[in-house]
Structure 1
Amino acid sequence: MDDIDWNDRAFYDDGEWVTWTEIDEQLRYKEWGAKYPNAIRSMIPYFENLISLAESYHYETGLHLSVYGDIGELFGAITHGIRLNKTYAQGSDGRLGNDHVEVKTITPFKSKDVVVVDTSGNFNKLLVVKINEHFQVSGRMIERKELPKRSGRYLKVKWSDLPSPT
């Protein structure tokens, strides 16, 4: 006997059943694509699953998983089309065309909306991703040349000082 959930079947098309789950997924991908035309849509399920896992784990245990940096990078891939570098690649987290992009993530448990950037890295753009206490995710990108001048290797960047997305 087959394990078909007949309640999930929407209609029969071109010799196979199409499910409501598949339709919902296609609509979500279309929404992401409309909102973010450069989206790498294949990354959407990983992003959604990881943010859902982080949220449910936190609500269940009161603790946080060490996944927020990965969530930030996936968000950058989806929203801006950043091609991510290999894990632990030196200098930047990915590429956007010819630009190297550094991704920094503000986690939901941080008391201040600030990231620390190592300016010795090889990057042209900085994407700051913010995950709030409700696990909603947003991002702001800035050109490196627009960052404030500083003395020393490390620069603190406030979320409120970044340009709002247009």
Structure 2
Amino acid sequence: MPDDMARASMDEIDWSDRAFYDDGEWVTWTEINQQLQYKEWGAKYPNAIRSLIPYFEDLMSLAASYHYETGQHLNVYGDIGELFGAITYGIKLNRNYAQGADGRLGNDHVEIKTITPFKSRDEVVVKLAGNFSKLLVIKINQDFQISGRMIDRKDLPDTHRSFLRVKWSDLPATR
């Protein structure tokens, strides 16, 4: 009887994603691909907070597929930009709706602004009353490719206004 039960349970296993058996458990192709992707992120972004990568990728995929399916955009691009900053720069994000800045990079407070794929101009508006010493601008283009540029607050143009328009083309290329 035990052999019949073992044979029945072996027949019920989905073998399509199984790569090999190691140390008492199956390793799947999905797990192998995920590990390779984590290594690529780590090589490209040495400060990466790798545990956030799946959330970032899921949000990017959701935003892109929703747009391609409906022609509309979800309201997730600010979150995507913050996750990208955490992953690529190692920014430790503040809690949601924290006043002053979106996160910390060492002793610096970082404000993160995102240029969305549907914006007609490649610029962001920054509230200068915020408590930040660095500005990270994330750009997501119409093909859902993403990049970021960071600038020290002291390098922003001087103004007596409460808000400052910052153009992507005026920022130093970093990543």
Q: Same fold (TM over 0.5)?
A: yes
Q: CA deviation at 1:9?
A: 1.0
Tell me the distance in 2 between the aligned counterparts of 1:144 and 1:4. Answer: 57
Match of 2:55 among 40, 43, 46: 46
Equivalent position of 1:96 in the other structure:
105
For residue 79 of structure 2, what is the amino acid of its counterpart?
D
* Aligned length in residues: 166
Q: Identity over the aligned pairs, expressed in percent? A: 75
Q: Does 1:82 align with 2:91?
A: yes
Instruction: Give the structure-1-normalised TM-score.
Output: 0.97
For residue 81 of structure 1, what is the amino acid of its counterpart?
G
Tell me the distance in 1 between the aligned counterparts of 2:150 and 2:24. Answer: 46
For residue 45 of structure 1, what is the amino acid of its counterpart?
P
Tell me the distance in 2 between the aligned counterparts of 1:57 and 1:157. Answer: 29
Within-5 A mapping of 1:18-33? 18-33=27-42
Match of 1:148 among 140, 143, 157: 157
Q: Does 1:36 align with 2:45?
A: yes
Match of 1:116 among 118, 122, 125: 125
Tell me the distance in 2 between the aligned counterparts of 1:90 and 1:69. Answer: 16
Deviation by residue 1:51-106 (Cα, 9 ceiling, x = unmatched)? 10000000111100000000000000000000000000000000001100000000
Instruction: Please identify runs of 4+ aligned residues in structure 1 that moved more than 4 A.
Output: none
Return 5+ residue gaps in structure 1 as ranges: none
Return 5+ residue gaps in structure 2 as ranges: 1-8
Q: How large is the Cα RMSD of the aligned pairs?
A: 1.1
Tell me the distance in 2 between the aligned counterparts of 1:49 and 1:40. Answer: 16
Q: CA deviation at 1:8?
A: 1.1
Larger Rg: 2
